Structure 1
Amino acid sequence: MTCGGNKFSVIDLSGPRASVVSLVRSAALDLGFFQVKFASTEKASALAAAKEFFSLPQKAKEGARLVPGWNGELMRGYASLGSEAADVANHSLAGGEEVLPDLMESYQVADPEYMDDGQFPTEGMKRAMPGLFDEMKGLGLEILSLLDEGLPKSGEGKFVDNHKGRSRTIVRCTKYPALEDCGGLVSAERLKSGKGVSRISAHRDLGTLTLLMQDQQGGLEVQDPETGEWFPVPPVEGAVVVNVGNLMTRWTNGVYKSSIHRVVANPGGGHLTEDRWSVIMFISPDDDFTVSPLECCAGEGEVRVAVNVGKYMNCKMRQLFDPEAREDKGKCKYDN
């Protein structure tokens, strides 16, 4: 049950269960990216609250500074423009090339069940964000169930059972400022050239699933691992982009694919003078769970080793947010 003729056609989750499982499985076996129809009732109010926060003076925003979560804490708070570099946490992409700062500022919200209201810097976010978290987590659990049914031995993964406790799952509201507001982070020469400017450098996501509600500006691209070709993921009103993360790839022994992706901007596409906005949920299994390759997937893909989720995420968060750790780009003892 899909609509549209592009590589990332939209799957209608209300269709016949067997057909939906088959479509989700096929996408996960290919690039691990697909879109699903989803009418959010919480996005508008949550995004309005986030925009209100991002409009505050920089000093006020810095008062809610990011807790990066590399010592076991749940990540939450504000990350300023250029403070994150997504490519450094990706072992397979490490190659000594220059680490590019990501041209975005963001606010992360941890699971409200395990945090008090102190994680919300404004009354608007306090009212809106818990509902958005619950709504997106519900969608994520449904997709995890579909992926589980699509395994060679249906249901062996028990994915949902291991996503119900304390975890590094977060909701992130992201502002990509208009390029003309990015100061010294983007050279005038690069803007004038008309070539794509990296907003988030090429990377794979770390957890099991990512859910993205993007605006209509576009810019998300996925790379074909065989040809190196980049495919744009077009914005679709009323749809959520879903992609498989590294821990799901490890869990399924490489059967479900976590693909390299990036966000680029072109001056001619509105990026120069208009802000770009997105709402993202990064889903991870419970911290105390150990991800081990499933027996049903043995011999189906690359051999992956077992990892404790909490220790893995501690290591990866340090790579992402500790500038000193970036000298060891992508090197984490939990990588194969």
Structure 2
Amino acid sequence: MSHVSTLDFSAFCSKDPGRQQSFCQQFTAALQQHGFVKLINHAVPAEGIAKIFEFSKQFFEMDQAAKAVAAHPTTAIPHRGYSFVGQEKTSILAPGEGKPSVDCKESFDMGSPYSRIFPNTWPADCDMPHFRPEIESFYQTCQDFHHTLLRALALGLQLDAHTFDSLVDGNDHELRLLHYPAVPKKELMNGQKTRIAPHTDFGVLTLLFQDDVGGLQVMDQQTGLYSVVDGSHPIMLVNVGDSLQRWTNNHLRAVLHQVTAPSQSPSGTDSPIFTKERFSVAFFGKPNRACSLHPLPQLLLDGECSQYPDITAGEYQDSRIHGTY
């Protein structure tokens, strides 16, 4: 049973100050308690989400040679382009969570369309002529909504609404398309493989959209047990990343989550042998690479000491991703 709250984002868009304030308080409280929250009636259009899932399916249905045109660069910093099944080793991100496992997933990542330091790589236009503009447009939509959510969060923390603006305006975010191919159930159940191993995200807030196949599990901060978090798009899942945990000095925590065999598959689509393929789309809201992840002074309680050293977001993320490829 999921322990993640569902909130109606339309309350934040209301002209009623009371409803706006109530949403900000509930949003912040839900993230403090569970690290995750579900949003309905948010500002990312349902038709845009559906279109991105269609483009994602088309991309991953191409043969390996066509996908390899957009191959992930030899360096792992940061995520860009296509990563084949097993290329990324997520299990090293949560040491102590179990034996190393193979991630049965493939992905396509993009960052800012304007970055000259970390340029994006794309499939050939002749294979997917509309892929790039659609993905770039969805990236921009998610980026705008991420900034809006941070303003709601700031108000929920009793800070100025624009507290986080200058920390995330460098456009260092990432958008990831994910495909989990069909895999023998026994390999997931006996631990030989996983769809994605337990991990936390590196950034500020993650916006996640998923299909109805299931398998996402989130650890309860109180019990240490995992529970299923369902909800297919257009429902949006939002979760805390490591950078926000550092800025808030652990008052908001990034929680471990994983994708494994679903407890049940949609009616009429299950197989006794294979777990059905799964698709999801994640927008990782990231801090500016040059900004500090030292706790924000206004979020330190009287007499409270910082739990973290002063390190830039770029340095931290590079250290976390090192070794995953």
In the TM superposition, residue 96 of structure 1 has moved relative to its aligned partner by 8.8
For 1:207 and 1:134, locate their aligned partners in 2 and report how far apart those are by CA, in whole Å: 17
Provide the secondary structure at the position in 1 that maps to 2:198: strand
**Separation in 2, partners of 1:160, 1:267:** 40
- In 2: Cα distance, 1:237 partner to 1:156 partner: 28
SS of corresponding position for 2:260: strand
Question: Partner residue of 1:107?
Answer: 108
2:176 counterpart residue number: 172
Counterpart code for 1:112: P
- Structure 1 residue matching 2:102: 3-state secondary structure: coil
Q: Which residue of 2 aligns with 1:35?
A: 38
State the shift of 1:56 in Å: 1.5
Q: For residues 130-187 of structure 1, what are the alpha-carbon distances to aligned partners after superposition, in whole Å with 9 as ceiling and x for unaligned?
A: 1110111111111111111122x412882122111141x111111100114xxxxxxx
Greater Cα shift, 37-46 or 299-308: 299-308
Q: Which residue of 2 aligns with 1:327?
A: none
- Give the 3 Å change call, closer, same or farther, for CA 228–241 of structure 1 in structure 2: same
SS of aligned partner of 2:217: strand
Q: Provide the C-alpha distance between the structure 2 equivalents of 1:135 and 1:30, rounded to a whole number of angstroms.
A: 28
Match of 1:47 among 41, 45, 53: 53
Does residue 206 of structure 2 align to residue 210 of structure 1?
A: yes
Cα shift at 1:87: 2.9
Out of 64, 67, 71, the position equivalent to 2:70 is 64
Hey, what's the Cα distance between the residues in 1 that align with 2:254 and 2:154? 16
Asked if the contact 1:70/1:316 (under 8 Å) is kept, the reply is no
Amino acid at match of 1:240: M
> Counterparts in 2 of 1:240-251, with a 5 A limit?
240-251=236-247
From 129, 137, 140, the counterpart of 2:135: 129
Shift of 1:80: 0.4
Q: Which moved more, 1:199-208 or 1:262-271?
A: 262-271
The answer on 1:238 being equivalent to 2:252 is: no
Residues 68/255 of structure 1: CA separation in 2 closer, same or farther (3 Å cut): farther
Match of 1:331 in 2: none
Question: Do the aligned partners of 1:81 and 1:104 also contact (CA within 8 Å) in 2?
Answer: yes
Aligned-partner residue type, residue 164 of structure 1: D
CA distance in 2, matches of 1:164, 1:85: 30
Which runs of 5 or more residues in structure 1 are unaligned? 181-187, 322-336
| Counterpart position of 1:326 | none
The letter of the residue matching 2:217 is E
CA contact (8 A) 1:175 1:278 kept: yes
- Alignment match, 1:324: none
More helix by share: 1
- Structure 2 match to 1:79: 83
Query: Taking structure 1 as reference, are residues 221 and 141 closer, same or farther at Cα in structure 2, changes over 3 Å only?
Result: same
In the alignment, the residues of structure 1 paired with residue 194 and residue 147 of structure 2 have an alpha-carbon distance, to the nearest angstrom, of: 31
Once the 2 structures are TM-superposed, how far is the Cα of residue 120 of structure 1 from its aligned partner? Answer: 2.4
When the two structures are superposed, what TM-score results if normalisation uses the length of structure 2?
0.84
Q: Which amino acid aligns with 2:207?
A: L
Q: Superposed, which structure 2 residues align to 1:189-200 within 5 Å?
A: 189-190=186-187, 198-200=194-196
Partner of 1:228: 224
Paired residue for 1:17, among 12, 15, 20? 20
Go from structure 1 to structure 2 and tell me whether the alpha carbon gap of 1:69 and 1:250 turns closer, same or farther (over 3 Å shift).
Answer: farther
Pairwise CA RMSD of aligned residues? 2.8
In the superposition, relative to structure 1, how do residues 208 and 315 fare at CA in structure 2: closer, same or farther (>3 Å)? same
Alpha-carbon distance between aligned partners in 2 of 1:312 and 1:195, rounded to the nearest angstrom: 30
Determine if contact 1:194/1:268 at 8 Å carries over to the other structure: no
Alpha carbons 1:32, 1:256 under 8 Å: kept: yes
Compared CA separation, residues 226 and 96, structure 1 to 2 (3 A): closer
Distance in 2 (alpha carbons) for counterparts of 1:253 and 1:267: 35
Is this contact kept in 1: 2:38–2:238, CA < 8 A? yes
**Using the alignment, how far apart are the partners of 2:50 and 2:181 within structure 1?**
19
CA distance in 1, matches of 2:74, 2:56: 19
For structure 2, which runs of at least 5 residues remain unmatched after alignment? Answer: 12-18
Q: Which residue of 2 aligns with 1:310?
A: 314
**Does the C-alpha gap of structure 1 residues 32 and 196 become closer, same or farther in structure 2, counting only changes over 3 Å?**
farther
2:14 corresponds in structure 1 to none
User: CA–CA distance in 2 between the matches of 1:165 and 1:203?
Assistant: 25
Change (3 A) 1:267 1:319: same
1:47 CA displacement: 2.2
Partner of 1:258, secondary structure, is: coil
Q: CA 1:275–1:158 in 2, change beyond 3 Å: closer, same or farther?
A: same
Please give the alpha-carbon distance, in whole angstroms, between the structure 2 residues aligned to 1:81 and 1:70.
Answer: 15
Q: Distance in 1 between matches of 2:190 and 2:312?
A: 44
Amino acid at match of 1:207: G
- Determine what percentage of the aligned residue pairs are the same residue: 26
- Equivalent positions of 1:314-325 (< 5 A) are 314-321=318-325
Matches of 2:111 and 2:74, distance apart in 1:
11
2:259 counterpart residue number: 263
Query: What SS does the aligned partner of 1:78 have?
Result: strand
Q: Give CA deviations for 1:196-225 in whole Å, capped at 9, x if unaligned.
A: 962111111111111100001111111113
